[in-house]
Structures are given as C-alpha cells and as structure tokens.
C-alpha cells in the first residue's frame, strides 16, 4: 500500500474541502468492564462530535452484551451495529469494513483514544489535494536528538498533537528504512485497497 502523511492544512486550502461524506470512523467495543471504560468511550465519541468537519459517518461496533447509552447532545451520524459472537479488534474492523462501511475511506478510533478536532478536516483537504491517489493516510513525526540530528519517524501521537506543517509522500522503502515505530492508530484507509489485501491480519506470518 502507498502512504501519504497527514499534517495540518494551510488556511488557504479550506475552500477546496470535499463536501460529500468520504469517510467512516469505526469504533469497536467488545466490552465495557467498568465506569472508567464507559467514560473513555464517552470521550472518544465526544472527540468525534467536536470535529470541525462534520462530513463523516460513525459505526459503533458492539458485542450484544455491551450496554451503552451515547451521551445526549452529540451531533453524530452514528449507526449501532451489534454482533452475537465475541470478536477481536481485527475481526471487528474487518467485518465492519466488509458489511457496514459505505464510504470510500475509513478510520478506526479505539474507545480509549481521541481524535484531534481538525483531523477529519485535514484529511478531506489532503484527499482533495491528492485527488484520491493514495491508499493510506497517516500523521508522521520526525524524531531528532539534542543536536537536531534526524533519528527516525514515528506516528503514534502525530494525529493527536497536530504539530506538523509539511505535506508529502513516502514510499514503502523509505518507511521500512526510516520508521522507528509504526502504529496504525489514526490511519485512514482506502476501503477498496484494504479489502483487496484481505484486511487486517490477526498476526504476521
């Protein structure tokens, strides 16, 4: 899969935003063990409701035994999906994409994470800029030492801290060579390409 990194947009790009829904956010929940878990999920959904760009769908993917009430006042185009069988994170994402996601792109928000208020706005702007050319969008951070020498690339927190200011493309060879740590947290996938490779795998060979 090819990848484009996803920094904040310039103010001048706002007028180029795509209006139609191109993105679905999947929130998989296999259990809520206690009030702390419920609070985490409340905050995750609240971070979606606080997106500056409202043009996206949400799928709340739940096990049938999960009892949860979405906090009142959240303005979300949200669909609940309940499954009888126990499922892993991988199974939940793959099934949701195959059977429920109706948009060209999707992302996954784990219930104990939050999404930066401008993240979806930035994605739509970059998608429009690149005209659907890439299969995977994610935020990247370049790590440097005390002497400001490049050490490697990371992406776990980039989608949250929102402190980048360049746009560009990395090929897979560069990613393999330069990444110190790679997480798909906050990544935005092209649905068709995701299904073509068989979705997420429970483990690597």
> What pLDDT, on the 0 to 100 scale, is given for residue 93?
95
- Looking at residue 121, its pLDDT comes to 87
Tokens of 66: 């999960």
Does residue 169 carry a pLDDT above 80? Answer: no
pLDDT at 3 over 60: no
Q: Is the pLDDT of residue 145 over 90?
A: no
Place of tokens 């419920």: 38
SS in 3 state form for the chain? CCEEECCCCCHHHHHHCCCCCCEEEEEEECCCCCHHHHHHHHHHHHHHHCCCCCCCEEEEEEECCCCCCCCCCCCCCEEEEEECCCCCHHHHHHHHHHHCCCCCEEEECCCCCCCCCCHHHHHHHHHHHHCCCCCEEECCEEEECCCCCEEEEECCCHHHHCCCCCCCEECHHHHHHHEEECCCCCCEEEHHHHHHCCCCCCCCC
pLDDT at 182: 59
Least confident of 110-124, 142-156, 163-177: 163-177
Structure tokens that stand for 131 in this block? 């005209």
Higher pLDDT, 153 or 77: 77
Tell me if 2 sits within 8 A of 118, measured CB to CB: no
Question: Span 119-147, mean pLDDT?
Answer: 76
Q: Compute the distance between CA of residue 93 and CA of residue 106 in angstroms, rounded to an integer.
A: 10
d(CA 199, CA 84): 21
**How does pLDDT run across 64-94, given as a tens digit for each residue?**
999 999 999 999 999 999 999 999 999 999 9
Count CB-CB contacts under 10 A for residue 83: 17
Rounded to two decimals, what is the model's pTM? 0.77
């Amino acid at each position: 899969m090819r990848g484009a990194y996803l920094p904040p947009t310039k103010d001048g790009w706002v007028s180029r935003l795509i209006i139609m829904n191109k993105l679905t956010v999947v929130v998989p929940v296999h259990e809520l063990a206690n009030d702390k878990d419920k609070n985490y999920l409340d905050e995750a959904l609240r971070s979606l409701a606080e997106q500056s760009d409202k043009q996206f769908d949400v799928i709340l993917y739940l096990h049938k035994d999960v009892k949860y009430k979405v906090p009142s006042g959240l303005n979300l185009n949200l669909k609940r999906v309940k499954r009888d069988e126990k499922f892993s994170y991988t199974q939940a994402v793959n099934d949701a994409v195959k059977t429920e996601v109706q948009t060209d792109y999707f992302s996954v928000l784990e219930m104990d994470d939050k999404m930066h208020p401008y993240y979806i706005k930035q994605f739509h702007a970059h998608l429009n800029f690149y005209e659907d050319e890439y299969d995977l969008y994610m935020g990247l951070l370049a790590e440097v030492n005390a002497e400001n020498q490049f050490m490697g690339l990371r992406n776990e927190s980039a989608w949250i801290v929102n402190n980048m200011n360049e746009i560009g493309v990395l090929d897979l060879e560069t990613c393999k060579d330069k990444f110190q740590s790679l997480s798909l947290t906050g990544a935005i996938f092209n649905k068709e390409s995701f299904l073509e490779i068989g979705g997420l795998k429970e483990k690597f060979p």
